[in-house]
Each structure stands twice: as C-alpha cells, then as structure tokens.
Structure 1
Amino acid sequence: MQLLFAGLIGLALFAGTVRAFLVGRPDLAKAATVFCGVFVQALPFLAFGVVISGLIATYLSPDRLARWLPRRTGVAILTAGVGGAALPGCECGAVPAARRLFGDGRSRDRQGAAALTFMLAAPAINPVVLVSTAVAFPGEPVMVGARFTASLLTALTMGLMWSRWGRAEWITRRLPRPPHSGGSKWTVFSEAARHDFLQAASYLVLGAATAAALNVLMPPTVYEHLAGQLLLGILTMAILAFVLALCSEADAFVAASLTMLPLLPRLVFLVVGPAVDAKLLAMQAGVFGRPFASRFAPATFVVATVVATVVGLFFLGGAR
C-alpha cells in the first residue's frame, strides 16, 4: 500500500515532465491515452467490488452457505451458480472461499460440486461485472446478456462434470485457516478489501498496459487478419485471457478497447478470463492441490471457450 501511494504521489509531482516527454511522440501519447482510459474507467468498479468482497469475508462464511444448499446435487449446483450473481467479488477471493465451501467430503457430493460452480460463477456474473460490461460496451447491450449466459453455463457445466467424474484424491491441500479469526470485524473487512484491491489493481495495471501496447505496437494488418479469421481470433483471445489474468471487474474495458476485433472473440475473452487464467491456475494449485488444478483448469478452458463461442453465435450472430 505504501508503494502504491508513493507511486501516485510521484506521478502527480512529475505530471508536467511526463506530459512534456509525450509531446511530439504520437505513439507514446496514444498508448498513454489508452492506458489511462482503461484504468480510470475500470477503477470505480474495482473499488466497489473489493468493498463487497470485504463485507462477504466479514459477514458471510462459507460454512453458512453450505447449510443453505439444497439436498439434491443438480439443484444445489444450480443454486450455487445463480447465487453467485448476488455475491460480487474478485475471482482471487472466490478460490479460497470455494475451498472452504468444498469441505472435506467426497468429491461427488453436492457440496463439492456446488463449491466449484460458485467459484466460477461468482466473479463472472455478479452485478458489478455486468454493469461494468454495460458501461464498457454502451452500444452493444447484447454483450451483457451473452456474457451472463455463457459464464453461467460454463459454471454449471463444470459443476455437473465434477459431480460426475471428480475424484476426492485430487484434493491434496488441507483447508486453510480462516484469516484473522481472532480479530475484529473491521480488521477482517479492511484486510480482505486491502488484499483484494492491491492484487486486483496490479493485474488491472498489467492489462491496461497490455491493451495500450496492443493498440500501438501491433500492426493493423494483424488485427485485420484476426478479424477475417474468426476461429483464429477466438483461440487467440482465449489464450490472451489466460495469459493476461485480468480482474473480472475490469476486463470488459480492456476488451472494449480492442475495437479492431469482432464482438465474438471479445466475448470469448470475457468468459474465459474469470473462469481460468494464469493466476487462478496458481491459486487453485495452492489451495486445492496440483492434481486438481492440472485437471480442472484445462477442462475449464475448453468448456469456457466452446460455450462462449456457441452462445456468442446465438446472441451476436452477424454483429461486428
């Protein structure tokens, strides 16, 4: 946090120097404009999201969620998926919460399948993410419905697949201890919100910088080729979503900045990112265990890409 504030103060003090340096350098000026546009638009949604995640960590325990689950596995999976829409938060916080919700039961029980469904649904279809998507794509409201549908179907599909083929021996990590269990509620809230903000903001900076670089460094012919090759564009954006590892509350602004690509590949980017990316793979390996992550992450990548493509063809059709 101290480094963050020091960096902000430094940028404020040397704003004139930076502005003078950019004068006469149109490429750098364009990159700076894209970076600031993406970051400034996404920051309010990110801040609101981490406040909500802090409140969830303080007042809504995974054990309480487990007691609310229906007894039938299919209904429990559907409940966990739809319930994720009401719990805004970053995917970074969804992984440890899902591990606590998973418990120590058998892999095929309703609690484990519902926990994984919640882990995929909560950061992808909550109100903060949907509102940020609507703001990022003001002229394409269908993107909100397409993202919601594809992300929810991805979460439900993975929950059902786990209930059918999951194995308890893949979970090799023990349950983590609740953070700050002996502290006050304000301590739990502030620490959870601070952790989520710093981690998510760092990935937002990386994503905004990458979007700026893609707008300046990549020749227009590359995007024209991707726009003309739909399948290649879909695969490229799916891989890009995995590599960039953006926060789900901010990725819509990065996708919206790539105006040279059709809507369908950008929808795939928005669906794959919150479901599986480089940081989530590392977190799943640390929280659930490597045997789980090595199976669950690749399967999620394939399912999210296929589901987003099918849903996108249905919702977007011939949209640009």
Structure 2
Amino acid sequence: MHTAAARPGRSGGDKTYPVAEADELLSFLLKTVTNQGRNSLKSMLARGQIEVDGRSVTAYDYMLQPGQTVTLRKEAPAEKLPLAAMTILYEDDDIIVIHKEAGLLSISAGDKADNQELTAYRQLTAHVRVVNPHARIFVVHRLDRDTSGVMMFAKSEEIQQKLQNEWQDIVKERTYVALVEGKVRKAEDTITSWLKETKTLLMYSSQHPNDGQYAVTRYKTLQTTSDFSLLEVQLETGRKNQIRVHMADIGHPIVGDKKYGSRSRAIGRLGLHARVLSFEHPRTGKLMRFETDIPRLLLRPFQSKA
C-alpha cells in the first residue's frame, strides 16, 4: 500500500508529501491525503493549491515520478479573474473573506439577477464558477457601498445559515476605524440605543426603550485635532448603519456621511473602515482573524496638522 508522511510546507498550514513511486497526481492525493475527499482535492487542484516541486499543477493525470514532492497549499493563490475594487484575503471550500474598497456595492439592491451593476457578490460568483459552473455565493453580512474593509461570504446555503443563525456566538471581534467631525471629548465610551428605520430607509435612534433593535457601540479615541477625531469602534451588535447613527447621536457624524448630518468632505469618501473581523470557522471551529491597514485617506487630516 502506498503511504507517505506529511511534513510542514513553506507556510504554517501547507503540507508537503514525498513521492516514492510513479503515480498520477489525483490518484496519489487520494491515497496520501486522508483528511480530504475527492471533491475537495479536485477543487484544490482547480484553484491551483496543489504544487509539484514548487510549481502549481492542475491536471488530475499529471504523472508523478519518485523523488518529487507534492505540496498542498492552505490558501489558494491569487484569483484567476481580475477583481475590481476588492481583494480576496482567504478562501476555502466554505467561506471567502475579502477586503472591499470604498465605492463598491456588496450586493445589488434586492439581489435582482438582471441588475448588471458591478458588486462584490457578482465578482465572487464569477470567481467560483471558474472552478465549478454551478457554484454559488451566499451573503452573510454587508458593508455599505462607501465603507471599506473586511467582509465574508459563504459558499453554501448550509454555511450561510449557520453563520447567520449563530453570528453573535461565532463572531469574536468586529472593529472599525471611523473618522468623525469635531474633537471627541471622551477618550472612550459605550453608546446604546434602539434603532428603527423610516419609510425613506433612514435609520434613527428611538427615544423609547424596546422600540426597535437594540444596538451597542463601543469606541475609543486614537487621534484628535480641533476639527476631526479618529476612533476605534467595536460593534457588540451589528445593526444597519449602526455606527453612522451612533456617531451622529453624540454630535460627531462620520466625515462624508451627508445622510446622517456630516458637512465635511475632507477626504472625498465616507470615513469608515471595517478593519478587523475575527470569527470561529463555521465548520472547523478554528479561530480566524483578518486585519487590514487603516486607509491613508482616513489619516490625512492628522498628517496635515503635524
């Protein structure tokens, strides 16, 4: 019986297997990689995650020779399709984590199939269909068009439902950076309210307890000038426009957020960025954390004051 012991690859999650006898690549993988099924291995091949002697190979019948090494890469290499205003940070059989730039819609309004506007959802659907023409992407949560940062999509309805139903337990950290108008006096604070939505889709804080969705936002000040403050904001609940409403509630609307009272266009975009998303993987339970840099535009008001 053909066996091979795995040894660590070039990065922590990669695995490398020595080839002891001539064999076709898929056949070798099926006999050697005991914790992956046929479909999973075929998907990894298609995504370019299988390398022979350091070179990506996608052909199932590639003939291996004794002395070669086969490496299973934990993550897929750069996406095969060019992506506009977004970058894939992580992908496996269950989820895709991306960095979305400001200006890109997460998904079209109403999820209409005939809506041709470029969205993260449409691009990722095309991305997964390179491997499987019937593959689908499922929305888990959203970022506003003008908010940049980390967000996650599911690759099956099963994973989508698990993430949505257990979101509060699965997600361990959602940290944003917000550039707001004015000098915030409190170094840190917690804002709570009951959020409701008007007929014109404007969110607001109700003055009456239990009237709407309970929302909790915590913030701490990172930098301030007399005109602007940069805040680190953590969500304990994830309501629509929650940070935008709460910042307006305390008299410091997010820069560029005309919808909620901002008068400043200092950076030419909304001053909100989803910097950190940390969660337990919905299938494996492994803790995963994705952190991105603060956009330079959000730092500009403080650099000019230096």
Give the alignment's TM-score, normalised by structure 2: 0.28
Higher relative helix content: 1
Higher relative strand content: 2
Structure with larger Rg: 2
Give the alignment's TM-score, normalised by structure 1: 0.27
